[in-house]
């Protein structure tokens, strides 16, 4: 404040920055407000889903409006929170190359890529607005009993996209101010982060190279379509721009240059709407809310105590308990991040106090955290279902046996290693009273597993209804029974859930726009034709796909691998006669490898942050689990029946 008073006579210099700061603050408040509204809509959606279950089973009077209303609510929630995602800078990026640039060079590249990425947002806003205008003039209504004017959900898409675009432009202005030194922190941007070696380069050189490669790929599209598409895809993805933007922009360039010019750009909002108009997408945010409520409600410690009393007398009992906890918490949350973070906070101090080495412990917890995506309700598995159309119930059934097998392999390994370590103290078998007390304390959380898995497998609930019941149940459990969550914690949970949901949905939209170009280019069909004509054995194709995915796991994050490869690999694999259900498990296992593969594995970062271990300690600790998961991948590849038997049994 004193600085502002001292410079009061310099209004011509400070007025513009002050106005920018005021406008930026106002825009952030608006975005946060709509982010909170998005989270509240998810709670309303959960309440409606629970109401539908009650009406159907207790009053034999199912509704005809709840499902459609839920779809409209998830559309609103997904798009209204997009601005908040930008405020939190929560978009997923492939920054493995950008991290090696100096600060000012990275800023210059980000500003350059942002200018290009802005094209995708402008196309989305403009084309969505055109569709909305047409719907307003024709007043077209939904072909359902509710007869909702379609202008309403489409107007929400326009507003949410506009809010994201506004925040993105504000972000670009901030980048420009930093780059030109107007913020007064210009020199600070040149300081490299700890542990990073930077490639010396002029701030203008790298952006120029990016633009040249981009222009070259676009020109190449006219002479060699597939080479042009490949170069374009790689350039956009590894430029450091958000993955969702890179995928969407790839689709925009492809649609415009290859399939009819500007008139084809209307496909962008059409794909966006059809993506969110899905029962799987409707279920996804509900399980995200459940996960965040359980994590913030501190249910994990009760579940861990329950797991420990069951197996503490075994060799490596505490380590085995950690694996069992990962399985149970995965079945409650479906999130690898939630599982890895929770088990680390609870188990790390306990295991180190009992004599487990630091390297063994961090490796175990990072590896165990990967189980979060192999047990239903796995969020990446739901993403797979949304992108491929595979039955979500069958996907959940298909991963159960593989998940248990991998958990058993982890347990066998830690029992052998810990059993030979004399520094690890063995504990006595728990008494019946101890087991009963631990079970009673954990019962509330364990019921969540019954609601989610039991409800879906038995056919009592649809996945969306299961998520709805789980949200309401866990909220009541943590707020009023355990009292481990207050209103502020609930607010944080739904806000975080809205952010995660909007981020993932926007990635799926970009992936589906990319998928549209891939399919129209007949890339999967032509690949299948080449493989068939070359008489390449199917098993060799699957082996090469696995090697390819494992290699990608080094520089890329697991979610990124899924969305960029699935549009090509899924039609190719199913075209070869393999089960899409089996391939889902193959993809999840490869994502598990990516989660703990140096240098970009997400679980490795979580371990480093929470355990304060070095990157080297964590990387060496996860090596045994990388080997176990790789062997498990071979097992599932050789015996697809391990994934298809249970779904087939339930269907029959």
> What average pLDDT does the segment 13-26 reach?
61
What pLDDT does residue 623 have? 92
Task: State the alpha helices, DSSP H only, in 259-378.
Answer: 267-276, 279-296, 300-311, 317-333, 336-353, 358-369
What pLDDT does residue 189 have? 45
pLDDT digits (tens, 9 = 90+) for 449-490: 888 888 887 778 888 899 999 999 999 999 999 999 999 999
Indicate the pLDDT class of residue 197, thresholds 50, 70 and 90: low
Contact 195, 616 (CB under 8 A): no
Q: What percent of the chain has pLDDT over 70?
A: 92
The 3 state secondary structure assigned to 29-57 is HHHHHHHHHHHHHHHHHHHHHHHHHHHHH
Of the candidates 314, 340, 345, 318, which has an alpha carbon nearest to the alpha carbon of residue 329?
340
pLDDT digits (tens, 9 = 90+) for 509-546: 998 899 889 888 888 888 888 888 888 888 899 999 99
* Phi-psi map region of 475: left, alpha, beta (phi>0 left; psi -120 to 50 alpha): alpha
What pLDDT does residue 131 have? 96
Contact 141, 80 (CB under 8 A): no
Q: Is the dihedral of CA 408, 414, 417, 420 positive or negative?
A: negative
What pLDDT does residue 208 have? 93
What pLDDT does residue 20 have? 56
Domain ranges in the chain? Answer: 18-191+200-276, 279-485+521-651
Q: Is the dihedral of CA 507, 511, 513, 514 positive or negative?
A: positive
pLDDT digits (tens, 9 = 90+) for 309-338: 999 889 889 999 999 999 998 888 888 878
Q: Is the dihedral of CA 303, 306, 311, 312 positive or negative?
A: positive
> What average pLDDT does the segment 545-567 reach?
84
Phi, psi of 141 (to 5 degrees): -115, 165
Q: Which residues share a beta bridge with 561?
A: none
Long-range contact set of residues 423-431: C-beta below 8 Å, sequence gap at least 24: 423/355, 423/356, 423/357, 424/316, 424/354, 424/355, 424/356, 425/354, 425/355, 426/313, 426/315, 426/317, 427/312, 427/313, 427/317, 427/318, 428/312, 428/313, 429/312, 429/313, 430/309, 430/310, 430/312, 430/313
What pLDDT does residue 610 have? 78
Contact 149, 141 (CB under 8 A): yes
Token couple for 194 = 């700890």
Which range of 8-17, 456-465, 585-594 scores highest in mean pLDDT? It is: 585-594
pLDDT digits (tens, 9 = 90+) for 614-629: 878 888 889 999 999 9
Helices 432-449 & 279-296, crossing angle to 10 degrees?
150
**Considering the chain, what is the average pLDDT of its residues?**
87
Residue 193's contacts (CB-CB under 8 Å, 6 or more residues apart) are 99
pLDDT digits (tens, 9 = 90+) for 288-302: 899 889 889 988 889
Indicate the pLDDT class of residue 260, thresholds 50, 70 and 90: confident
Q: Is the peptide bond before 377 cis (omega within 30 degrees of 0)?
A: yes
> What average pLDDT does the segment 548-570 reach?
84
Residue with structure tokens 């040149």? 190
> What average pLDDT does the segment 178-202 reach?
56
Q: What percent of the chain has pLDDT over 90?
A: 49
Which range of 172-181, 374-383, 397-406, 616-625 scores highest in mean pLDDT? It is: 397-406
Secondary structure tally for the chain: helices H, strands E: 29, 0
Give the chain's end-to-end CA distance (angstroms, integer).
Answer: 73
Token couple for 301 = 């410690």
Indicate the pLDDT class of residue 611, thresholds 50, 70 and 90: confident
Contact 592, 374 (CB under 8 A): yes
pLDDT digits (tens, 9 = 90+) for 467-477: 999 999 999 99
Is the pLDDT assigned to residue 441 strictly greater than 90?
A: yes
Let me know if 203 is exposed, middle or buried by CB neighbors in 10 A (0-12, 13-18, 19+): buried
HSE of 401, CA atoms in CB hemisphere, 13 A = 17
What pLDDT does residue 149 have? 94
Residue 309's contacts (CB-CB under 8 Å, 6 or more residues apart) are 430, 434, 435, 438
Let me know if 28 is exposed, middle or buried by CB neighbors in 10 A (0-12, 13-18, 19+): middle
Of the candidates 285, 298, 289, which has an alpha carbon nearest to the alpha carbon of residue 445?
298
Whole-angstrom distance, CA of residue 43 vs CA of residue 135: 29
Give Cα separations from 414 to 468, 481, 520, 536, 628 (angstroms). 37, 36, 49, 40, 11
What pLDDT does residue 192 have? 47
Is the pLDDT assigned to residue 150 strictly greater than 60?
A: yes
Q: Give residue 379's Cα distance to chain centre.
A: 7
Indicate the pLDDT class of residue 183, thresholds 50, 70 and 90: very low
Give Cα separations from 70 to 34, 43, 252, 282, 497 (angstroms). 18, 11, 30, 7, 16
Q: Is the dihedral of CA 546, 91, 501, 491 positive or negative?
A: positive
Contact 132, 158 (CB under 8 A): yes
> What average pLDDT does the segment 132-158 reach?
93
The DSSP secondary structure of 116-151, one letter per residue, reads HHHHHHHHHHHHHHHHHHHHHHHT-B-SSTT--BTH
Is the pLDDT assigned to residue 278 strictly greater than 90?
A: no
Give the Cα-Cα-Cα angle 514, 275, 82 (nearest 5 degrees). 90
Is the pLDDT assigned to residue 51 strictly greater than 90?
A: yes
Is the pLDDT assigned to residue 252 strictly greater than 70?
A: yes
């Amino acid at each position: 404040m004193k600085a502002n008073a001292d410079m009061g006579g310099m209004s011509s210099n400070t007025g513009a920055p002050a106005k920018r700061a005021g406008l930026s603050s106002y825009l952030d408040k608006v975005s946060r407000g709509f982010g909170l509204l998005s989270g509240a809509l998810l709670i309303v959606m959960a309440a409606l889903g629970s109401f539908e279950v009650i009406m159907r089973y207790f009053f034999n009077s199912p509704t005809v409006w709840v499902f459609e209303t839920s779809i409209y609510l998830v559309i609103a929630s997904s798009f209204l929170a997009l601005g908040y995602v930008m405020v939190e800078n929560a978009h997923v990026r492939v920054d493995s190359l950008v991290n090696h640039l100096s600060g000012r060079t990275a800023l210059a590249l980000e500003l350059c890529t942002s200018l290009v990425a802005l094209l995708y947002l402008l196309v989305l806003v403009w084309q969505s607005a055109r569709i909305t205008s047409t719907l307003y003039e024709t007043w077209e209504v939904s072909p359902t009993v509710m007869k909702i004017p379609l202008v309403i959900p489409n107007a929400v898409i326009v507003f949410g996209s506009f809010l994201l675009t506004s925040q993105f432009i504000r972000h670009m202005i901030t980048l420009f101010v930093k780059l030109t030194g107007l913020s007064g922190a210009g020199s600070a941007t040149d300081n490299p982060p700890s542990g990073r070696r930077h490639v010396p380069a002029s701030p203008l050189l790298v952006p120029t190279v990016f633009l040249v490669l981009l222009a070259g790929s676009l020109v190449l599209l006219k002479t060699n379509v597939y080479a042009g598409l490949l170069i374009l895809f790689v350039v956009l993805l590894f430029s450091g721009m958000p993955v969702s933007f890179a995928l969407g922009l790839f689709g925009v360039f492809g649609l415009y240059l290859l399939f009819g010019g500007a008139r084809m750009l209307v496909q962008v909002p059409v794909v966006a709407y059809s993506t969110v108009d899905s029962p799987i997408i409707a279920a996804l945010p509900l399980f995200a809310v459940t996960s965040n409520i359980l994590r913030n409600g501190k249910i994990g410690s009760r579940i861990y105590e329950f797991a420990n009393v069951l197996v503490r007398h075994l060799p490596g009992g505490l380590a085995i308990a950690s694996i069992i906890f990962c399985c149970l918490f995965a079945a409650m949350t479906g999130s690898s991040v939630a599982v890895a973070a929770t088990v680390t906070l609870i188990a790390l101090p306990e295991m180190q106090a009992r004599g487990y080495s630091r390297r063994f412990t961090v490796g175990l917890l990072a590896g165990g955290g990967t189980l979060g995506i192999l047990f239903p309700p796995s969020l990446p598995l739901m993403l797979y279902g949304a992108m491929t159309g595979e039955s979500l119930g069958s996907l959940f059934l298909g991963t159960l046996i593989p998940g248990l097998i991998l958990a058993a392999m982890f347990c066998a390994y830690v029992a052998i290693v810990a059993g030979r370590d004399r520094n690890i103290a063995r504990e006595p078998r728990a008494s019946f009273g101890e087991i009963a007390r631990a079970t009673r304390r954990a019962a509330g959380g364990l019921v969540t597993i019954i609601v989610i898995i039991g409800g879906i497998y038995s056919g009592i609930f649809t996945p969306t209804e299961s998520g709805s019941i789980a949200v309401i149940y866990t909220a009541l459990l943590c707020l009023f029974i355990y009292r481990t969550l207050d209103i502020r914690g609930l607010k944080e949970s739904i806000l975080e859930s809205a952010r995660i949901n909007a981020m993932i949905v926007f990635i799926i939209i970009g992936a589906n726009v990319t998928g549209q170009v891939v399919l129209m280019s007949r890339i999967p069909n032509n690949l299948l034709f080449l493989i068939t004509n070359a008489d390449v054995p199917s098993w060799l194709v699957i082996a090469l796909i696995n090697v390819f995915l494992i290699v990608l796991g080094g520089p890329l994050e697991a979610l990124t691998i899924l969305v960029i490869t699935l549009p090509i690999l899924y039609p190719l694999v199913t075209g070869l006669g393999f089960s899409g259900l089996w391939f889902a498990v193959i993809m999840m296992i490869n994502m598990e490898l990516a989660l703990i593969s140096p240098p970009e594995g997400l679980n490795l970062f979580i371990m480093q942050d929470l355990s304060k271990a070095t990157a080297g300690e964590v990387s060496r600790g996860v090596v045994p689990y990388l080997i176990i998961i790789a062997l498990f991948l071979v097992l599932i590849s050789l015996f697809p029946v391990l994934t298809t038997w249970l779904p087939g049994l339930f269907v029959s």
